[in-house]
């Protein structure tokens, strides 16, 4: 028996039920055994407009995907995640055998010093599941409502011809993908799997379901996923309407700035 406060990460990890893969710094605990045939791994991490998280939740809920593993690491901030009132691991991996799909998602940021350990553990496990393709779904932050919604891609050489077939997608010519998404893509370059990113402009400061719709539709085209975006579209319409109202209010204040002492002046700062 260990005294309170004396338990190390590796000691705690050993108490988890399931197959454990990884290093003491980052470990995948697989809680359900599942055989799959070279599944696609979709990585959905925190990003502008929480686009990746919206995509993950939509697909997981719609297809009733099963949580089969989770990632434990000292580089994930200590926090409890609740979904429908139920405690969940902060970094989870879901599977759908019929869709041949794995989804890795977390609501929490990964500490900078742990990017390599976490991405390596994830891809080591993915390789053991037979994964040959890894896609990162992410948002590109923009101010206000994006004027044009496009799906941009960045990919390894062998994947580019597949993506160029779709006129709705456009190559991202130059840039840097940072954070855990960039770390995962960098790691695929060292392995016998192909990594690529699907990106779209997203509202920087609020959830952006319209951006998530673009990425889900791209997955539908590429992999015949068959995900429905009707509910997301309703949310997107509400958010767009709200953002447009805010923009009109800001524009009105810019053209006619209130005078000090005028009625309503104080309410602007309430």
> Which phi and psi angles does 142 have, rounded to 5°?
-135, 160
Say yes or no to pLDDT of 12 above 50: no
Q: Where are the domains of the chain?
A: 9-257
Share of the chain above pLDDT 90, in %: 58
Structural domain 9-257, CATH architecture: 3-Layer(aba) Sandwich (3.40)
Look at the chain and count its residues: 270
| SS3 (DSSP) at 219 | helix
Residue 5, pLDDT > 60, answer no
Mean of the per-residue pLDDT values for the chain? Answer: 83
Question: Strand 86-88 to strand 81-83: parallel, antiparallel, or no bridges (unpaired)?
Answer: antiparallel
Task: Note the pLDDT tens digit of each residue in 211-252.
Answer: 999 999 999 999 999 999 988 888 777 766 766 665 566 555
- The model's pLDDT over 97-139, given as tens digits with 9 standing for 90+, comes to 999 999 999 999 999 999 999 999 999 999 999 999 999 999 9
DSSP letter at 18? S
pTM for this predicted structure: 0.81
Mean pLDDT, rounded, for 158-187: 92
Token couple for 39: 């599944």
């Amino acid at each position: 028996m260990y005294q309170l406060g004396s338990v190390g990460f590796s000691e705690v990890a050993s108490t988890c039920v399931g197959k454990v893969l990884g290093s003491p710094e980052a470990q995948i605990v697989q809680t359900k055994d599942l055989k799959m045939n070279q599944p696609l791994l979709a990585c959905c991490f925190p990003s502008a407009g929480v686009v990746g998280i919206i995509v993950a939740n939509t697909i997981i809920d719609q297809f009733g995907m099963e949580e089969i593993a989770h990632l434990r690491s000292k580089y994930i901030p200590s926090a409890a995640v609740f979904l429908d009132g139920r405690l969940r691991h902060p970094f989870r991996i879901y599977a759908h055998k019929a869709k041949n799909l794995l989804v890795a998602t977390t609501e929490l940021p990964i500490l900078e010093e742990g990017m390599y350990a976490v991405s390596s553990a994830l891809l080591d496990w993915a390789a053991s599941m037979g994964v040959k393709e890894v896609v990162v779904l992410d948002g590109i932050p923009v101010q206000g409502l994006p004027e044009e919604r496009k799906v941009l891609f960045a990919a390894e050489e062998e994947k580019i011809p597949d993506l160029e077939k779709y006129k709705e997608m456009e190559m991202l010519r130059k840039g840097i993908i940072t954070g855990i998404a960039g770390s995962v893509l960098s790691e695929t370059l060292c392995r016998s799997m192909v990594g690529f990113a699907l990106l779209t402009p997203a509202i920087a400061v609020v959830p952006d379901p319209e951006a998530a719709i673009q990425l889900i539709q791209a997955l539908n085209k590429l992999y015949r996923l068959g995900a429905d975006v009707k509910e997301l579209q309703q949310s997107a319409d509400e958010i767009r309407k709200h953002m447009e109202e805010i923009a009109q209010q800001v524009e009105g204040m810019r053209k006619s700035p209130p005078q000090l002492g005028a009625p309503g002046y104080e309410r602007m700062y309430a």
